[in-house]
Amino acid sequence: MIAEIQPLLQVAADTAVSNNQGLALIGGGLGAGLAVIGAGIGIGRIGGQAVEGMARQPEAAARIQTAALILAALIEGVALFGAVIAFQIVGKF
């Protein structure tokens, strides 16, 4: 799989060297991608830990579910903010 990606990276690097917009596009794509990956990992961990907590203490399930939903919404907001900032940076070039 790495052998398949290397030619694509070489083309991207050549474009970036010859054109400043190429660097901005690569940076924007990486920034948005990392923001989304981080949010996915964070929301997945929240969901997993919430289910585990509800399994351990069923009587606290309502409180755990509410807290998990609020935390997931906050993480989603931060990820959206990161992606928007990455695309704003791309738009300046």
**Domains along the chain?**
29-93 (1.20.20.10)
Q: Give, as one character, the DSSP assignment of residue 60.
A: G
Read off the pLDDT band of 12 (50, 70, 90).
confident
**Residue 55: phi, psi to the nearest 5?**
-70, -35
Q: Residue 29 CB: number of other CB atoms within 10 A? A: 14
Residue 15 CA, chain-centre distance (Å), reads: 25
Condensed to tens digits (0 to 9), the pLDDT of residues 25-53 reads: 888 888 889 999 999 999 999 999 999 99
Q: Which residue has the tokens 């060297």?
A: 17
Its pTM stands at 0.70
Rounded-to-5 percentages of helix, strand, coil across the chain: 95, 0, 5
